[in-house]
Structure 1
Amino acid sequence: MKSNKRILFVLDWLAEEDWIYLARLRQRFETVTLFGWETPRGHDNNFEKLARLWKSYLVQTIKVFKLRRRYDILLAWQPVIGLLFAFWARLLGSRTSIVIHNLIVPQRHGLNGFLRHLFIRFCLKKVELVTVSSAAETSAYRKRFANNRTRFHFIPFGIDVPHVSSMVDGDYLFSGGRSNRDYRTLFQAVDGLPVRVRVIAQKHNVANLDIPANVDITYSDFNTFDENMRNAQFVVVPLDRPGESSGQLVLLRAMAFGKAVIVTQNDGLADYVEHEKNAILVKPHESGELRQAILRLTADVETRRRIGAQARHDVLEKFTTARSGALMAEAIESFVIT
């Protein structure tokens, strides 16, 4: 029997009504209403981020907050929206239960880090459920943000798996993404190698770095991201801070395309990859080790195919949008309604 709890599902993008994640929620709940908008993309510095992205979040959260009496549960796909809603709920009052999807809070020092920590702690005291994308984050956030209300629960990241009619084995390695990236180590690793490298990132990701002659960088062109990934020989996901959860989306997209992936060891990825089975893991900031892994995959077609095939299989089995949506519905029933 479906629950009669009314859910307002807020996204910072425009989802289709036939989206499989939404369908999984509607299998468990009679009323799941979408509220979405096109968020400004492509900021290259903190000023642009504040002026465009955060302004959008603030304006849309105010609109959402005005709807609070119509719904029993707010499900915030973008964590910032959930936190801002909780902030207003603490100040002005609201009986709406709050669920935040995929919260990521990197450790930061200094005054900014301290103030952000206080803000999040204040907001979370009004939040019933927070889902995270790694088991390591569950225990870490329980310690950092413990209160009598909030439950932290691990739900694996899920993606819409692309159809792949045939595996493409291109003539370049691809790397991309913007959060917690370590392009310095990647550039050091490929410098002087007889390999072509394509990178899609933002300008701040590579500021003040020496870019080797064999590296072609495109800035903020995320419309061609999947195409460049699909046509690559293999993919590298270089991560900077090993304790900061990041890289899941790019990793899983590459795996779904059947690509062998070289990825930096990271606490947030331990639930997704197994060394030599569905990925090649390298130590953080070890350009020599990364260089050897790149040379190995460049020369070894069979290893590329074996790892890529297992990677796609694992995504189809464990890391789909459909499964993620079903697990979210179960979590809401278990931790919010029960």
Structure 2
Amino acid sequence: MSNPTSKPVLLVATSTLPAKVGDGTPGFVLDLATAVSADFDVVVVAPMVGRAPKHEVVDGVTIHRYSYFPRRWQDLADGAIVENLRAKRSRWLQVPFFFLAMAIAVRRANARYRPSLAHLHWIIPQGLVGLATLGRLPRVVTTLGGDLYALQGAVPTRLKRRVIRSARYVTCMSHDMAAELAKLGATEAQVRVIPMGADVGPVERAVETESRRPGSLLFVGRLVEKKGAAVLLDAVRLLPEDPSRHLTVVGDGPLRASLTAKADASVEFVGQRGRDDLAAEYARAEVALYPSVPASNGDRDGLPVALLEAMTAGCVVIASRAPGIVDVVEDDVNGLLVTPGDAEELAAAIARVEGDPALRTRLGAAARETARGYSVEVVSGKYREILGATLRGR
């Protein structure tokens, strides 16, 4: 199929894409694809989730979704694949069909659109499928952490090395990830540290219309081990009683039932929120909490986009001293950092912020200023440079 415009075609493959814009599914891949469409005709290949359309065009970005298992049981890509496999071992039955369906979809898109380059999100599975199907097509590979940290062992390591070796550039979210990539053979010239950007528009609009609620705490993230929600609930129980304190937990995942059973009356689980509703939660919250911990399988958080969104809203951020997070949050400057897994230290940080209005004002203002450098617009500019260099290097 010939390119109807003068722009080169960029083929994007990902596991994470909203079924509907703003439905609460992390939208960083679609946001980035839309932003770089000024320079490229972008075609996205992604797995089917829910009742999403099989083919559609969103803000000029062409999207093709592929089915990989009978619909009744097809849920491997609903959220984080690694965590889904941990939560339900029978999902391993979907894995070979997932790889096969992705390979067919990527190969078809490559033949139909004749792209000039590819952007593959995650080393495994998308990078591996690209290695098997895209031949010598120049490509950029992006890792967001789960594939880098959790997929260990001789075979996954060998496969990751091959994918990295085949890529023109490899991008990651933190300097710690860059060090891990170096261990896998990535060269300094290959690696770029670029966090996923925050869509600041909805948050900034919500700040103009919403008011802070005294005592409001906010957690946003998938309810899986590495996000540290269990540690947060332990910390809340250690705090002195305060009838004005209220913790809102936004997100869903395999640990929701156990976390709900553990929570007291001051905690409300609201599930996944759409983009505008989530923006309103940020605007109303005084404190946003990101108590990330290393998971038992080795997985770790990168730099949560939700943290950047909270900073955009001017929330006081209390987060774990974890790779990725420490690249952005400086203790007592634009947030507070605590030891991962230490509920007592987390509780003390919350109590400190709750008791010091001047501190909340100072940290919230500094957080908002920091977040300006992590908007989708800023981040997409860096990706446009990398994609352009990859195209020219062809």
TM-score normalised by structure 1 residue count: 0.81
Q: Return the match for 2:173 from 133, 145, 149.
A: 133
State the one-letter code of the partner of 1:134: S
Structure 2 matches for 1:174-189, cutoff 5 A? 174-178=218-222, 180-189=226-235
Give the SS at the match of 2:140. strand
Aligned to 2:142: 101
Q: Go from structure 1 to structure 2 and tell me whether the alpha carbon gap of 1:66 and 1:245 turns closer, same or farther (over 3 Å shift).
A: same
Task: Give the Cα separation in 2 of the matches to 1:21 and 1:238.
Answer: 27
Gaps of 5+ in 2: 1-5, 22-29, 50-76
Does structure 1 residue 284 correspond to structure 2 residue 340? yes
Task: Give the Cα separation in 1 of the matches to 2:173 and 2:305.
Answer: 10
Q: Return the match for 1:25 from 6, 12, 36.
A: 36
Structure 1 residues 247-305: Cα deviation after superposition (integer angstroms, max 9, x where no partner): 52121111112111100101212221111221111112222221111112222223222
Structure 1 residues 168-200: Cα deviation after superposition (integer angstroms, max 9, x where no partner): 322421113135122232222111532322223
CA contact (8 A) 1:199 1:218 kept: yes
Q: 1:64: Cα distance to partner?
A: 1.4
Q: Go from structure 1 to structure 2 and tell me whether the alpha carbon gap of 1:152 and 1:113 turns closer, same or farther (over 3 Å shift).
A: same
CA contact (8 A) 1:151 1:335 kept: no
Q: CA RMSD in A?
A: 3.5
CA contact (8 A) 1:10 1:77 kept: yes
CA contact (8 A) 2:260 2:269 kept: no
Structure 2 matches for 1:185-224, cutoff 5 A? 185-193=231-239, 194=241, 195-200=245-250, 201-204=252-255, 207=258, 211-218=262-269, 220-223=271-274
CA contact (8 A) 1:175 1:236 kept: yes
The more displaced of 267-276 and 20-29 is 20-29
Q: Go from structure 1 to structure 2 and tell me whether the alpha carbon gap of 1:116 and 1:204 turns closer, same or farther (over 3 Å shift).
A: farther
Aligned to 2:78: 41
Task: Give the Cα separation in 2 of the matches to 1:228 and 1:321.
Answer: 20
Task: Give the Cα separation in 2 of the matches to 1:46 and 1:160.
Answer: 32
CA contact (8 A) 1:72 1:95 kept: no
CA contact (8 A) 2:172 2:194 kept: yes
Give the SS at the match of 1:263. strand
CA contact (8 A) 2:138 2:390 kept: no
Task: Give the Cα separation in 2 of the matches to 1:196 and 1:61.
Answer: 46
| Aligned length in residues | 327
TM-score normalised by structure 2 residue count: 0.71
Does structure 1 residue 84 correspond to structure 2 residue 128? yes
Task: Give the Cα separation in 2 of the matches to 1:232 and 1:181.
Answer: 19
Q: 1:58: Cα distance to partner?
A: 4.8
CA contact (8 A) 2:12 2:118 kept: yes
Structure 2 matches for 1:1-338, cutoff 5 A? 5-11=8-14, 12-13=16-17, 21-22=32-33, 24-29=35-40, 31-35=41-45, 38-39=48-49, 41=78, 45-47=87-89, 50=92, 58-69=100-111, 70-77=114-121, 79-89=123-133, 94-104=135-145, 105-108=147-150, 113-143=153-183, 145-146=184-185, 151-161=190-200, 162=202, 163=205, 164-166=207-209, 168-170=211-213, 171-178=215-222, 180-193=226-239, 194=241, 195-200=245-250, 201-204=252-255, 207=258, 211-218=262-269, 220-223=271-274, 225-241=278-294, 244-316=300-372, 318-335=373-390, 337-338=392-393
Identity %: 20
The more displaced of 56-65 and 203-212 is 203-212
Task: Give the Cα separation in 2 of the matches to 1:119 and 1:207.
Answer: 35
Give the SS at the match of 2:10. strand
State the one-letter code of the partner of 1:100: V
Give the SS at the match of 2:12. strand
Q: 1:5: Cα distance to partner?
A: 4.5
Q: Go from structure 1 to structure 2 and tell me whether the alpha carbon gap of 1:84 and 1:108 turns closer, same or farther (over 3 Å shift).
A: closer
Task: Give the Cα separation in 2 of the matches to 1:53 and 1:301.
Answer: 50
